[in-house]
Structure 1
Amino acid sequence: MRVTNNMITSNTKSNINANKVLVDKYNTQMTTQKKINKPSDDPVIAIRSLRMQTSLSHIDQYLNNNISDANSWLNVTDTALENMKTILTDVRSLCVKGATDTLKEDDRRTILNQLKSLSDQIYAEGNADFSGRTVFTGYRTTEQLTFKTDEETTSYTIDQKLSYKDISEARYTYGSVDVPTDATNSFDETISIGENTYDRLRLAYGKINGKDNSDGTGAIDPISSMSYTTAAGKKVELDLAQGKFVDENGAETGKFTMYESKEEWLKANNGEAKVEDTDMVFIKDTGEMILGKDLSNTLKREKADLSITYTKTGFDAGEVRPEYYYDCKMKTPDMQEAVQYTKEDQPINFEISSGIMLAANTQASDVLSTDIGRDMTEMMTLVSASTQAHDKVSRIEKMMSMDKYSDEESQKKLQTYLDAANKEATYADDNLSKTYQQFISNFDGYLNKVNVAHTNVGGLQQRVELTKTRVENQKETVEELKSNNDNRDISDIIIDYYAAYNAYTSSLTAASKVGSQTLLNYL
């Protein structure tokens, strides 16, 4: 094969350029310490680098945002649950204190003041929020658990489920002493004061007025429907029009009577708290269903579940909103259609690692029962009744010590009042003591729910911390792999650079010899 000078020159130029490219490559690597400068340099390295960069972006999202947010959410929840536990423990202590029969006037006033303070705070803890998102309200994180202000015209139609396990004993006193302003006046010597004990079921709310605010007439009955079903499947329904319960065969099983208040109930029964054995009495003001003896025994024996739909218009600030606890419909005067709410599980999920979802939220219905507020309200009512009864005794005793009533006739009249007032105070104290004793177990149950939720949150916090540690280790591993894939050691680059540079200078030296002599030099 004939090799010409042009061929030698061309090859020399190509070799010089190739060596120059290598020098430039290693010079760039020395500056960047990267294996490649563009994807075309090595597509395999480029693809692996992109994949690992994507993984690092995801890991940074988990560490800097998702895990951090989940941890903060859980910390807010943990603090709120700790506060709830403290409040419920304090209320339970008041139950223990109130259950004694040695309370003095100062003790009763102290209990009342503490209950007022604690009742304002317990549901307020359910409004705890993280970055403006309430943590106990499921998906509705922009709304609070409780009503912010009094809403007198807001109506809710609520579907509430009750069980035979919710039946509790309650004492209903009747009769009251009116302290005379003047013992010389005539008076009724037959002051009847007594007490009856019945089982009851209690709704989540009192003041079940049933007003319909769509046209302002208030025409809707407070109760739309009621029925109970036994464990064997036997169903008994309330016939509101007839005021009676009927079974599946249409036979009457008991009567149903509705009263505005306890006072109206007493008035209808000649001043006595009374319900027939097979009947039910419903008190709108307190939201109580008072059960006759036989009806209560039937519900317990047959392990019945009761369903009731009722309408309440008007809620006080601080009351819990029904939509977080029950299926219900809400309507205000300016709404054309009612809003339907369905009670369901509403988890707030955080993706704390690839494919790992964490439901960080705790729903109010799993922690704060509506019965807590009802119990505390009843406790305050009972201690107030006891205080008022003892105040009557003190006022009558003071009158008896006055000179103007020292005559035998006045003393006799005042003694009659005093005996009745002492009887009223005795019933009030007995009701206070027994109810507070009964509520000790109630608040043990409420505390247990909070403790379970608190333990669950603690477990979630530990899970988040373990995941965080694993993701941090994963980040270090991926960063190391990416570094090995993308970067070169500077010492290796220097060696390759000098080798390429020497080859380049050698090629230049060799090129200088090419073409310096031709055939003409030998002619």
Structure 2
Amino acid sequence: MRITNNMIMGNTKTNINSTKVLVDKYNTQMTTQKKISKASEDPVIAIRSLRLSTSLSHLDQYKDNNIPDASSWMDVTETALSNMKSLLTDIRTQCVNGSTDTLTADDRNTILQQLTALSEQVYTEGNADYAGRTVFTGYRTSSKLTFQKDTKSTYQITQEFSAADLSEKRYYTNGVTVPNSINAATPDCATDVTEHSFQRIRLGYGNTTDDVKLSIDGKELTQGTDYTVYKSVSDFDPSKLSADDTAYIQETGEFVFGKNVAASIKNNEKKLSVTYVKTGFDSSDARPEYYYNCKDITNAVTLDAGGNVPHDAAGDIIYSDPSKVVDFKFSSQEIKDTVANSTDITVNTQAKDVMDTGIKRDVDELIDVVQNAVNAHDKVSQIKKMMQQQQYSDKDSQAKLKTYLEAAEQEADYADNNLQKTYSQYITRFDDHLNKVNLALTNSGSTKSRLTLIKNRVEEQQTTIEELKSTNEDRDISDIIIDFYAMYNAYQSSLTAASKANSQTLLDYL
């Protein structure tokens, strides 16, 4: 094969360019310490690099954002739960104090003051929020657990009960009314204050309207026939409630069952359902949509002159604008955060799992019971003061005042007994409330521990993938320098060879 000078020149240029390309390649590698600078140099390395970068990006998101966010959410929740536990423990302590039979007037007043202060804080912790998101309200994180101000909102609420929800409640008749003065026309006070004990169920709210429907084992009872509605406790005469009767008291929001009715419910473990309407909530009341199936009908009805919801002849609510009914169906609303690949954790605790509307109702009842005891003893003190006044020193006045004093002392004894029994009974209730909070704290702590393990795993994965990514993309600088100088020498040699190959022409032989 004949080799021409042009062929030598062409090959020389090709060889010089090849070595020059490699010199440039290793020079770039020396600057970037990367194996490739563009995907076409090595598609396998490029594809693997993209996959590892994507995985690393996900891990960075988990470690730097998702996990800290979940941890902070649970920190806020744990703080609120700890505060709830402290509040409930304080209330339980007052129950223990009130269950003793040696209470003085100062003791009763102290309990009253303590419970009044605590009742205003019970649901405050339920409004705890993280970064503007309320932590106990499920998906509705932009809303608070309680009403933020007194409101005239109207809700139709449905609550379900079982036989286990029945509890004992004591009612009293023939309370003493202290006369302003004693004279011949003042009647003697009968000393027949009487205690009546019944089983009852208590709704989530008091001061409801008379629009209440009770169903037992799916059978709806007829108001006026199967049960009677009373506006207030003072309207309800427990002495007239027969064993087969049922009463509903709007003021306290409770159904009171006669002995036979209560026994039938308990013995047959019957299910009860109550649908009722409440208009007007205090700022400290929990919103019913977080606890029950309910409808906000505030803007859908026009109240009558008496402030009641209008009904048709069949007893159904008359809506002025049915389209404005807001229907709430209670459901489990778990907020899950993705904290690792294919790993979600529930970060929120729902209000119903921690504290129900019964806490405030329990505290209000405890306040009422101790207030009744305080009032009863005040009656005794007032009558004793009257007996010491000169104007009532005559025999007839003293005799009448004595009958009042005996009745007042009997009423005070009943009030003290009711206070002691109620507070003893409510120790168990607040133990149950505390158990819920303690369980929530335990669950939150377990989740935090799991989150810590996940964080450690993510950090380990992050380190591993960073190493794999570095192995795939990076070159050791010492290896690059060796290759660079080797190729640079080859480049210099190719230049020298080219100069020798082209230094002689045909003219040198003529």
The equivalent of 2:415 in structure 1 is 428
| Match of residue 315, structure 1, among 269, 277, 281 | 281
The equivalent of 2:310 in structure 1 is none
Question: 1:371-429: CA deviations, max 9, x gaps?
Answer: 11111000000111100111111111112122332222221111111111101111111
The equivalent of 1:227 in structure 2 is 215
Alignment of 1:163 with 2:134, yes or no, is no
Q: 1:341 and 1:519 mapped to 2: Cα distance? A: 103
Q: Return the offset for 1:185.
A: 5.0
The equivalent of 2:236 in structure 1 is 265
Match runs of 1:327-476 below 5 Å? 327-333=293-299, 336=321, 337-476=324-463
Runs of 4+ in structure 1 off by over 3 angstroms are 333-336
Q: 1:402 and 1:285 mapped to 2: Cα distance? A: 39
Query: What amino acid is aligned across from residue 328 of structure 1 in structure 2?
Result: C
Whether the 8 Å contact between 2:299 and 2:325 is mirrored in structure 1 is no
Q: 1:20 and 1:186 mapped to 2: Cα distance? A: 128
Tell me the TM-score normalised to structure 1 length.
0.91
Q: 1:125 and 1:466 mapped to 2: Cα distance? A: 29
RMSD of aligned Cα (Å): 1.3
Q: Return the offset for 1:501.
A: 0.4
Q: 1:469 and 1:515 mapped to 2: Cα distance? A: 67
Tell which deviates more after alignment, 278-287 or 393-402: 393-402
Q: Return the offset for 1:164.
A: 0.4
The equivalent of 1:218 in structure 2 is none
Q: 2:247 and 2:180 mapped to 1: Cα distance? A: 36
Alignment of 1:125 with 2:125, yes or no, is yes
**Partner SS for 1:387:** helix
Tell which deviates more after alignment, 20-29 or 396-405: 396-405
Q: Return the offset for 1:275.
A: 1.1
Alignment of 1:100 with 2:88, yes or no, is no
**Partner SS for 1:9:** helix
Q: 2:102 and 2:299 mapped to 1: Cα distance? A: 51
Query: What amino acid is aligned across from residue 352 of structure 2 in structure 1?
Result: S
The equivalent of 2:306 in structure 1 is none
**Partner SS for 1:149:** coil
Question: 1:350-377: CA deviations, max 9, x gaps?
Answer: 0000111111111101110211111100
Question: 1:131-160: CA deviations, max 9, x gaps?
Answer: 0000100000000110110112x1111111
The equivalent of 2:42 in structure 1 is 42
The equivalent of 2:316 in structure 1 is none
The equivalent of 2:183 in structure 1 is 184
Alignment of 1:302 with 2:249, yes or no, is no
Whether the 8 Å contact between 2:189 and 2:407 is mirrored in structure 1 is no
Question: 1:280-306: CA deviations, max 9, x gaps?
Answer: 000011011000000000000000110
**Partner SS for 1:121:** coil
Question: 1:251-273: CA deviations, max 9, x gaps?
Answer: xxxx311110111123xxxxx54
Q: 1:226 and 1:395 mapped to 2: Cα distance? A: 43
Q: 2:454 and 2:327 mapped to 1: Cα distance? A: 39
**Partner SS for 1:122:** coil
Question: 1:452-473: CA deviations, max 9, x gaps?
Answer: 1110000000011110010011
Question: 1:184-223: CA deviations, max 9, x gaps?
Answer: 35322143421111111111110111xxxxxxxxxxx511
The equivalent of 1:173 in structure 2 is 172
Q: 1:423 and 1:10 mapped to 2: Cα distance? A: 126
Alignment of 1:238 with 2:221, yes or no, is yes
Q: 1:116 and 1:343 mapped to 2: Cα distance? A: 31
**Partner SS for 1:239:** coil
Q: 1:208 and 1:259 mapped to 2: Cα distance? A: 11
Q: 2:130 and 2:370 mapped to 1: Cα distance? A: 38
Q: 1:178 and 1:299 mapped to 2: Cα distance? A: 37
Question: 1:455-511: CA deviations, max 9, x gaps?
Answer: 000000001111001001110111111111111100000000000000000001111
The equivalent of 1:66 in structure 2 is 66
Whether the 8 Å contact between 1:283 and 1:289 is mirrored in structure 2 is yes
Match runs of 1:191-206 below 5 Å? 191=190, 192-206=192-206
Query: What amino acid is aligned across from residue 165 of structure 1 in structure 2?
Result: A
**Partner SS for 2:93:** helix
Whether the 8 Å contact between 2:189 and 2:400 is mirrored in structure 1 is no
Tell which deviates more after alignment, 397-406 or 134-143: 397-406
Q: Return the offset for 1:66.
A: 0.7
Q: 2:181 and 2:506 mapped to 1: Cα distance? A: 153
Whether the 8 Å contact between 1:99 and 1:432 is mirrored in structure 2 is yes
Q: 1:205 and 1:181 mapped to 2: Cα distance? A: 36
- Cα–Cα, structure 1 residues 442 and 274, in superposed 2: closer, same or farther, change >3 Å? farther
Whether the 8 Å contact between 1:173 and 1:195 is mirrored in structure 2 is yes
Q: Return the offset for 1:520.
A: 3.4
| Match of residue 492, structure 1, among 479, 503, 506 | 479
Q: 1:185 and 1:17 mapped to 2: Cα distance? A: 133
Query: What amino acid is aligned across from residue 442 of structure 1 in structure 2?
Result: R
Whether the 8 Å contact between 1:196 and 1:274 is mirrored in structure 2 is no
Name stretches of at least 5 consecutive residues in structure 1 with no aligned partner. 210-220, 230-234, 245-254, 267-271
Question: 1:313-346: CA deviations, max 9, x gaps?
Answer: 1111110111001111002237842100000011
Q: Return the offset for 1:522.
A: 2.8
Q: 1:422 and 1:280 mapped to 2: Cα distance? A: 31
Q: 2:404 and 2:185 mapped to 1: Cα distance? A: 12
Q: 1:339 and 1:276 mapped to 2: Cα distance? A: 40
Q: 2:375 and 2:239 mapped to 1: Cα distance? A: 20
Whether the 8 Å contact between 1:172 and 1:273 is mirrored in structure 2 is no
The equivalent of 2:313 in structure 1 is none
Q: 2:201 and 2:502 mapped to 1: Cα distance? A: 114
| Corresponding residue pairs, total | 488
Q: 2:183 and 2:172 mapped to 1: Cα distance? A: 29
Question: 1:429-460: CA deviations, max 9, x gaps?
Answer: 11111011111111111111111111000000
**Partner SS for 1:317:** coil
Whether the 8 Å contact between 2:289 and 2:330 is mirrored in structure 1 is yes
